[in-house]
Amino acid sequence: MTRLTSYLRPGMALPLRVAGSVLVLVGALLPWATFVLNDGPYPAKSTLQFFDAPFEVGGFRLHMALLGLAALVVTFAPVPGRGRILRGLGWGAVLVSAVNVLFIAYNGGGLGAVTVADMPAFGGLVALLGGLAVLAGAYAGGIEQPVHLPTGLNRFVAWAVLLVSFAGLLMMVAWTLTAGGQGGVANPYAGAQFLSFLGFAGGLLAALHGAGVLPWISRLSEDHRPFSIVVLLGCALALPFTGAGTDYWMTVAANIGVYAATAIGLNVVVGLAGMLDIGYVAFLGIGAFVAANLSGAVAAKVDITLPFPVAAVIAAVVAGMFGSVVGSPTLRVRGDYLAIVTLAFGEIFVRSAQNNIGGLTGGPNAIPGVPQVSMFGTGFSEPITLGGTKLPSGVLYYFLTVLLVALVMGMFANLKNSRIGRAWIAIREDEDVAKAMGISTGRIKILAFTVGATTAGLSGAVFAHKLGTVSYESFKFLESVTLISAVILGGMGSIPGAVLGASLLFVLPEKLREFSDYRLLLFGLALVLIMRFRPQGLVPDRHRRAELAGEDIEGRPLEETVSEQAHLPTAAPVLPGEARA
């Protein structure tokens, strides 16, 4: 980046920015596709529609127009961090136009689909150029230091800000889920529209980040932690009331919840204690099979039926016991070997389940017919009506999983800040030093496994009832890899990271079902790329970020901190070249 941007002079900044924003705006209104594609006209009336009803643009064209407008306004308005904001907006514009241009070109059989000699169907290319110009203008004008907005606000003002921002987050999530509509024969462009929306959302978020708004909100939420938690919980529970409240999304969201809870448990083992466990899904399976057997399903071996909360607790306990069993032999083993041992345990579980060990797992026939959880008078799979609004079926399972995730998150946060949590982090950083400091590493490591396994067992119980069937096929090695990826992608050791990781890994394959052939291919590629370019994950834990990405606790790059410290006036003379640590 720096090599390219060195060609830009500050004088070019203003014209570039203005030209860029105008081009983006114009591009949004031009037609994008020159003919009707095989599957139907491209959405947002972008086929051959030229400046027609400019205030009625919708879909991705609306996104482009908004980006262009915002860029234009920011170029002239006296906002701090202008360069950073424009950089974010520029990227957004580039991504949206690139996605749509590529998709139309591919579907239309070549660049002819986006360029026409006799009619100005250049919308895509114009917008792309505009986005690049905005980017260039942003760099030419100089990227400022990160903006720090004031944080010492009155409590109620802070609360108001938090309420608004979390409500915004909720709307963003709902829009992301419903972006592009539900793919299918009637809507073959869903995947592309979804990607385009992601580009738009990404650009918007980058702009907000550049303006310093996002770090400000996160600092505010840390200062007013209890309030933030309550509001977040409320927003999560409010999701079924938004546009994403359909049967389909409730099912997906409930599954995400189960996997997110499991991922948080895995985070204890991997993120906090630093032990790589790639057979972890076995604990989810153990919990699920125990719950299935105690649920009174016809195929269950055991003939007891217990109410759901009791069965869930038993499932968690049993899984926890297995966790200690797995944990003990691993005490003497480190690093890579640990990973292989856990892999071996995972495979032993799958094989045993497939062979119906002890008659408990149903083998290849699985244990079908696990009844729904039934409390407060309704089965959890029925649609209900709350306060006049009809909610989709499965919504009660969704609420249950939100509760589960909240519970697990709370437990995790408590543990992380406790002595045990600190002991885990110490073991992760350097086990021998930890032992020298008097931590009984053996017991603490087994505790990590036990806690993680218990969490997975609890999630497994919910999983069994939600899905209705428990089969060994749900717990294969690939699922373990997916769980690990969710933790890594989201950020090791960070709670929101695990939830984000699990969500991404579940939502993306659902939204991009057109690309289902390439799902695993992209998945493998993504793992490689993430470890190469962003090993600390998307929402990194502060310590991890410092460790892996060369930043200090505040999030500023180390070079900045060091140079800043070196310029501070000191009482005593400092030897040349000596900087404060």
Partner 1 sequence: MTTLLQQIANGIVLGAVIGLVALGYTMVYGIIQLINFAHGEVFMVGAYGGLATYTWILPHSMRGHWQITLPASMLGGVVVAVVVAVIMERFAYRPLRNAPRLAPLITALGVSVFLQEAVRLFYPDAKSARPFPAMFVGGGLRLPVPGGQVILPWIRVALVVIAILLAVALQMYVNRSRMGRAMRATAQDRDTARLMGIDPDRVIVLTFVLGAALAGVGGVLYGAYQNTINVDMGFQNGIFAFTAAVLGGIGSLRGAVIGAFAIGLIKTLGGQYLPGGTQYDYVWIFVVLILVLVFRPEGLFGEAEKVRA
Partner 2 sequence: MRNQLVKSAAIVAGALLIAACGTNKTESGGAGGGTSCDTSKGTLVVGVVAPLSGSLSALGLGIKNSASLAVDQANEKCTVKGYKLAVQAEDDQANPQIGAQAATKLSSDPNTVGVIGTLNSSVAQNVQPVLKAKSIVQISPANTNPTLTRGQNFLTAPKRDFPNYFRVCATDDLQGPFAANYAVNKAGKKKVAIITDGKTYGDGLAGEFRKQLEKLGGTVVAQEKVGEKDTDFSGVIAKVKPSGPEFVFYGGEYPAAGPLSKQMKDAGMNIPLFGGDGIFDDKYIELGGREGDLATSVGAPTETLASAKAFVDAYKAKNYKESFSAYGAFSYDATNALLGSLGKTIGDGGKWGDDQRSKLLDNVGSYSATGATGEIKFDQYGDSTNKLLTVYQVTGGKWSAAESGTFEK
* Interface contacts to partner 1, rule CB under 8 A: 274, 276, 278, 329-330, 332-333, 335-337, 339-341, 343-345, 347-348, 351-352, 355, 432, 477-478, 481, 484-485, 488, 492, 517-518, 520-521, 523-528, 531-532, 535, 547-548
Residue closer to partner 2 (CB basis): 153 or 530: 530
> Which residues from 91-130 bind partner 2, rule CB under 8 A?
91, 95, 98-99, 102-103, 106-107
Residue closer to partner 1 (CB basis): 209 or 545: 545
- Give me the count of residues in the chain: 581
> From the list partner 2, partner 1, none, which binds 321 (C-beta under 5 to 8 Å, kind-based)?
none
199 near partner 2, judged by CB under 8 A = yes
Give helix 395-416 / helix 225-238 axis angle, nearest 10°.
160
> Which residues from 69-88 bind partner 2, rule CB under 8 A?
84, 87
CB of 492 to partner 2, least distance (A): 16
Determine the interface stretch with partner 2 among 71-79, 115-123, 267-275, 524-532 (rule: CB under 8 A). 524-532
Count of residues of this chain found to bind partner 2 when the rule CB under 8 A is applied: 79
> Which residues from 476-505 bind partner 2, rule CB under 8 A?
none
- Residues 6 or more apart from 20 whose CB is under 8 A from it? 71, 90, 130, 131, 132, 133, 134, 135, 136, 137
> From the list partner 2, partner 1, none, which binds 363 (C-beta under 5 to 8 Å, kind-based)?
partner 2
> Which residues from 21-60 bind partner 2, rule CB under 8 A?
38-40
Residue closer to partner 1 (CB basis): 274 or 460: 274
- Residues 6 or more apart from 505 whose CB is under 8 A from it? 259, 482, 485, 486, 489
Residue closer to partner 2 (CB basis): 283 or 424: 283
The alpha-helical segments, DSSP class H, found in 417-572 are 419-429, 431-436, 441-467, 477-490, 495-511, 519-533, 542-549, 558-566
Contact 561, 555 (CB under 8 A): no
DSSP codes of every residue in 149-218? ------HHHHHHHHHHHHHHHHHHHHHHHHTT---BTTBTTHHHHHHHHHHHHHHHHHHHHHTTHHHHHH
CB of 460 to partner 2, least distance (A): 12
CB of 476 to partner 1, least distance (A): 11
The label of the residue with tokens 């006049």 reads 388
> From the list partner 2, partner 1, none, which binds 535 (C-beta under 5 to 8 Å, kind-based)?
partner 1
- Residues 6 or more apart from 57 whose CB is under 8 A from it? 28, 29, 44, 45, 65
Q: Which of the 8 DSSP states describes residue 538?
A: S
> Which residues from 533-552 bind partner 2, rule CB under 8 A?
533-534, 545, 549, 551
12 near partner 2, judged by CB under 8 A = no
In angstroms, how far is the first alpha carbon of the chain from the final one?
29
> From the list partner 2, partner 1, none, which binds 23 (C-beta under 5 to 8 Å, kind-based)?
none
Residue closer to partner 2 (CB basis): 161 or 214: 214
**Nearest-angstrom CA–CA distance, 259 and 96:** 30
Q: What phi, psi does 120 have (nearest 5°)? A: -70, 70
- Residues 6 or more apart from 273 whose CB is under 8 A from it? 424, 425, 427, 428, 444, 445, 448
328 near partner 2, judged by CB under 8 A = no
CB of 554 to partner 1, least distance (A): 22
Contact string 354-373 vs partner 2 (x = CB under 8 A): xx-------xxxx-xx----
CB of 191 to partner 1, least distance (A): 18
Contact string 130-169 vs partner 2 (x = CB under 8 A): ----------------x-----------------------
CB of 420 to partner 1, least distance (A): 21
Q: Quote the distance between the C-alpha of residue 188 and its chain's center.
A: 25
CB of 351 to partner 1, least distance (A): 5
455 near partner 2, judged by CB under 8 A = no
Q: Which of the 8 DSSP states describes residue 51?
A: S
**Nearest-angstrom CA–CA distance, 128 and 111:** 14
